[in-house]
Amino acid sequence: MPHILIVEDEAAIADTLVYALQGEGFATTWLSLGAAALEHQRLTPADLIILDIGLPDISGFETCKQLRRFSEVPVMFLSARDGEIDRVVGLEIGADDYVVKPFSPREVAARVRAILKRVAPRPGIESTSALFQVDSERVLISYRGQPLSLTRHEFRLLQCLLEQPERVFSREQLLDALGVAADAGYERSIDSHIKSVRAKLRLVAANAEPIQTHRGLGYSYSPGHS
């Protein structure tokens, strides 16, 4: 039974989520503070966290940033703010979804189920090339024999590119690989993730450029530049 941690300071909203999620077969824990959520995730990790942005102690954004220092648990933000910049920031710091209040509890439960399905590891080790090895079960990619320290989003982006060498993926297609809807503004966050992946690859091979940019189109993995 997947365990969902709800971090929300409004009791009425939290109760609604608890009722909806338990009705779908999820176990739930409700906390109202970001610091308490971080401690809970260290001691008894949840399978997914629903995180309000406007918490009394530290913001949901700051909670997620601190969370990403030790955990890649899926995060769904809840917020009354529906501006594009908030959605973009949420994705860039590692969120998997962003839901605006007021919301449908049934839709949130459906989104939770969809996220858990997307992040479920595919079994086995896939030898992508002589230079890259992808271990989906351990969520690990090695490059030239060296394991890369990737976030979950970075892992899925690189995995997507490696699976189809030379294919040019648009930003919208790469967002789909992350399981994120291609809402306005989200596409720009792909550039930020690609930049980070490239920096980590250069730490292993400074002159290699396995990820190619196709101006106006997107990105591809080019084995010839690895």
pLDDT for position 90: 79
The model scores a pTM over 0.85: no
pLDDT for position 30: 96
- Give me the domains of the chain, ranges plus CATH numbers: 3-119 (3.40.50.2300), 125-225 (1.10.10.10)
pLDDT for position 87: 74
Report helix, strand or coil for 112: helix
pLDDT for position 199: 93
Q: What is the pLDDT along the chain (226 residues), one digit of tens a residue?
A: 899 999 999 999 999 999 999 999 999 999 999 999 999 999 999 999 999 999 999 999 999 999 988 888 899 998 887 767 777 777 778 788 888 888 899 999 999 998 888 777 655 444 455 688 888 777 889 998 899 998 888 898 999 999 888 899 988 888 877 776 655 456 677 888 899 999 999 999 888 899 999 988 899 998 877 6
Alpha carbon distance 167, 81 (integer Å): 37
Radius of gyration of the chain (CA): 18
How far is residue 119 from each of residues 143, 176, 183, measured CA to CA in Å?
22, 13, 20
pLDDT for position 127: 47
